[in-house]
Structure 1
């Protein structure tokens, strides 16, 4: 399978975790290609039984597509763990390097890497690393954007994107930080949190990229 096709699969999976309908337009925006290019690629992927067209959902991953997505995420996230723990990469450097390497290393290499690392369960950004030949089931699925009332929470997973990581570095919010949600403002589409004695405003669009669990006390 080509790296481009693998990126399409991951794109469709990522969109499916955030919206009920996957459109050509949204795929095109995320992949930075034209809608006709998406249509052509989707046609090929349907022929290869990686995805299927659905009137309600737009596109759906087939069982084969789901298997391929889990394989890609396993590769990507194990590589991230190795880069962070053994090559001195920072969390902001991991994603781009892993994006390249996931398309080039063999399954045998990844199996050996998994053994070398002691079969880690999560990547440096909190994402679940699926075991070999198993589908991806994220341990943490509740985003900050879904929080409906003030309370105390812990940041347990971050979507893997360089701009997001830059923003979090700017506001000094890191994985496993605890914080208090003080206000949810539907008018300004933002959430006010208090973390490390600082008050921070997080737009809903970014809150949708952050996964949290409720905690009793800070």
Structure 2
């Protein structure tokens, strides 16, 4: 399997493609790839029975695609934990390094690294880490744009994207922050929130809010 196809499996998993349909637009934005390229790759993955596609709605992982995705995500996120906690990499910088390492890491190696780190359950940006038997806690979260005005939510995880994580670091939005939803801009789509943890009001852009998951 090519590294690019592996990236597609990981991002579909991260966007919730185990349980719901993920749109080609979401994949394109997350991977910073042209929509036409996404369509072409999705068609190949359908032929290989890695995903199921519903026209005009999106894709979800098949059982085969899910197994591959879980193995890839496990390696990637364990490396992210090591790079962040042990080597003290800045969070926005760990993705590319973990991307290189996961492709040359054996199952035996990742199991030893997992033991060394004490079997972490989540990566630094909040994503679940499957254990060596494929078990992990299922997230029941939603994207920030789906939270209703007046609702109070907790930040659960972020999409693993360098520019996104840099921006969130700049505005000091962290995993575990409690947010009260103030309003949704009907034109721009931005979400205004009160960060109750930091006691600060934030206006979070439409694209950014789609890649912040809350519960």
- TM-score range for the pair, normalised by the shorter chain length: 0.7 to 0.9
Give a deviation string over 1:85-133, Cα, whole Å, max 9, x none: 1111121211111111111111111111111111111111111111224
* Equivalent pair of 2:46/2:52 in contact (CA under 8 Å): yes
* Equivalent pair of 2:141/2:156 in contact (CA under 8 Å): no
C-alpha distance in 2, partners of 1:10/1:63?
Answer: 14
**What's the C-alpha RMSD, in Å, of the aligned pairs?**
2.9
Gaps of 5+ in 1: 214-218
For the pair 1:85 / 2:85, whether they are aligned, the reply is yes
Partner of 2:204: 202
Partner of 2:66: 66
Give a deviation string over 1:58-111, Cα, whole Å, max 9, x none: 544321111000111111111111111111112121111111111111111111
Partner of 2:154: 154
C-alpha distance in 2, partners of 1:15/1:209?
Answer: 8
Give a deviation string over 1:17-61, Cα, whole Å, max 9, x none: 4984644x775664636836853x556544543334545655443
Partner of 1:170: 170
Task: Tell me: CA distance 1:164–1:71, structure 2 relative to 1, closer, same or farther (3 Å).
Answer: same
Gaps of 5+ in 2: none
The alignment's TM-score, normalised by the length of structure 2, stands at: 0.81
* Equivalent pair of 2:14/2:127 in contact (CA under 8 Å): no
Partner of 1:32: 33
The alignment's TM-score, normalised by the length of structure 1, stands at: 0.80
Task: Tell me: CA distance 1:201–1:58, structure 2 relative to 1, closer, same or farther (3 Å).
Answer: closer
